[in-house]
Amino acid sequence: MEKKELENLLMRFSHLGVTHSKNGALLIGKAPHIAEFAWLNVMYPCVTEAEVCDLEKRLGVAIPEVYKDFLMNVSNGFDIMNCTLALHGCRTSYNRSDLDSWYPFNLEDVQKYERPKNATPEMFFFASYNYDCSKLYLNTSDDKIYYCDRYDATPLKAWDSLSAMLTSEIERIFGLFDADGHCIDEDVPTTPVII
């Protein structure tokens, strides 16, 4: 997926406002019904190869090429619909006093500290759903994306590629919200539909 393609998908809520944070994050869809400074969708500025290499050292594993390319050329992670789904990235600061700088959830947390006990080395965790902390991982043995529970890496759903997952999940999640960014039915889970 190209950067412009992702940006265009996330712009569905641009009628609610669009701006850039001080550190370059693209903020789409002001959401005062959630909180004073809340935005529905956030795309973080891409990171450099050096930042990715530093992150890999901290992780102790190589980031799969498809996700490395995403971080460096598309977005350093993103949040859709106020973190309904968050793709984690390379967090470069934890300064919470600066409300005009936005940073992604740290990839280190989901990959290193929140891995299910039955995860295998070829599972690279990179995203989570705020509904129940379930996760997405890229399996380096087949390059497919898998959805799993918070504490169990058994695959519950699969996509053939990162791009396919992004397109289908963004469209599915947007369908759960009205034009003003309000959840249509609070009782409906916002996680992937398992068939």
Choice between 133 and 96, residue whose per-residue pLDDT is larger: 133
40-68 residue pLDDT tens: 999 999 999 999 999 999 999 999 999 99
Q: How many CB atoms lie within 10 A of CB 154?
A: 9
Half-sphere exposure of 81 (CA within 13 A, CB side): 26
- Report residue 16 as tokens: 């609610």
**pLDDT category, 132, cuts 50, 70, 90?**
very high
When pLDDT is averaged across residues 56-81 and rounded to a whole number, the result is 96
pTM (predicted TM-score): 0.94
Q: Give the 3-state secondary structure of residue 71.
A: helix
- Report residue 43 as tokens: 């795309």
- Report residue 15 as tokens: 């009628």
Residue 69 has pLDDT above 80, yes or no: yes
**pLDDT category, 96, cuts 50, 70, 90?**
low
